[in-house]
Amino acid sequence: MRCVRVEAKINAKTILSVIALILAVVTPHLIPEAFVYILGLSFLFIILVVSWDVMVGYTGQVNLGHTVFVGVGAYTAALLQAPERLQSIGVAIPKAPIFVSIIFGGIIAALIGLLIGIITLRLKGYYFALVTAILPLVFMQTVFVWRNVFGGEEGFSIGLENSLSSSIVGKYYIALIIMVVCVVLMLLIVNSRIGLKFKAIREDEELAESIGIDTTKYKVIAFVVSSFFAGVGGATIVLYRITVSPDLYDIPLMLLIILSAVIGGLGTIYGPVFGALIIYLAKNWWLKEILSNLFKIAPIPVNDDIILYLILIVVGVLMPQGIYVELKKRCHEVRLKFEKFSKI
């Protein structure tokens, strides 16, 4: 009976995932290109949110500097596509193929994550969170100090010829493929034996140490994995929109990542995917249209950020474990009621 239930759960998730993927494939033919562009960016935002969940949701270590790795991946890919900018500091490298620059963005982010992780992940409690909260501000200063290379406050364009695709629909499908590959890989990692050790650390770090788990080692592994995929996401965003700027290091992006993961449900992968999609589209599409229509009727002193944070408060009070976990509970309750009814 237990095996049948497990298979039913797996099949349900698989069926829903396939349906979602089919909808994603056909959507560009049903909506205007402007919305296709936004939806493509939302797929890349999903990578950022899920990669943050790998660290925070599965090991319980609160990383408030995740945008460091997004920015590092973004600027790495941008400079590999526009290597002439490095000539001002005496560095000459050839231009890299587009997909090579995406991988390099992830690798450089992972190496920096490894260095930072080795130094900081021996800290426990809120100290690690405080240290990581400062990191985006430190890295952002490099953009302003070496503005000839990084473009300063405005950033720089890598040129239309270095885009993921010459068409918006082409970009959309590439973003979709990269998102699916990244999410599947992260799902495999957290469901592996390594992922079980991540969860052990999250549940009780001292107990995990007492049974022989090298907690620092596995926290560093989680941090490197999280950093790699954040770098891949940042690199792909730059190649999608063909510009790079300090907004990929910035605090508002970090807050949006946290908001999406918490609302979706930490430590679930599926929850952050759902949360990221809803929050990104709300921020860049739905809420803007709703508020613009409301302003025509009555000048209400609110903006999209206020509404999003109000949603976070409501979800935090009514569904503290996130929407995904709450939906699972509701479905479980419905199934139990159905089983009781069928026995009658």
Instruction: Write out the DSSP string of 132-160.
Output: HHHHHHHHHHHHHHTHHHH-GGG-EE--G
pTM of the predicted model, to two decimals?
0.88
Query: What whole-number distance in Å separates Cα of residue 245 and Cα of residue 241?
Result: 11
44 and 233 in contact (C-beta within 8 Å)? yes
* Domain spans, the chain: 1-30, 31-343
Q: Which CATH class is domain 31-343?
A: mainly alpha
Which residues, at least 6 apart from 117, have a Cβ–Cβ distance to it below 8 Å?
A: 219, 220, 223, 224, 227
- 244 membership: H or E segment, kind and range: strand 243-244
Q: 293: exposed, middle or buried (C-beta count within 10 Å: 0-12, 13-18, 19+)?
A: exposed
| Locus of tokens 């699972």 | 328
**Which residue, 215, 220, 224, 223, is CA-closest to 197?**
215
Task: Going residue by residue through the chain, which has 344 residues, state the pLDDT in tens, using 9 for 90 and above.
Answer: 444 444 444 566 778 888 889 999 999 988 989 899 999 999 999 999 999 999 999 998 989 999 999 999 999 999 999 999 888 788 888 889 999 999 999 999 999 999 999 988 887 767 888 888 888 888 888 888 898 899 888 889 998 888 999 899 999 999 999 999 999 999 999 999 999 999 999 988 889 988 989 999 999 999 999 999 999 999 999 999 999 999 999 888 998 999 899 888 888 898 899 999 999 998 888 777 676 666 666 666 666 677 777 777 777 677 766 777 667 666 656 666 666 666 65
Distance from chain centroid for Cα 123 = 24
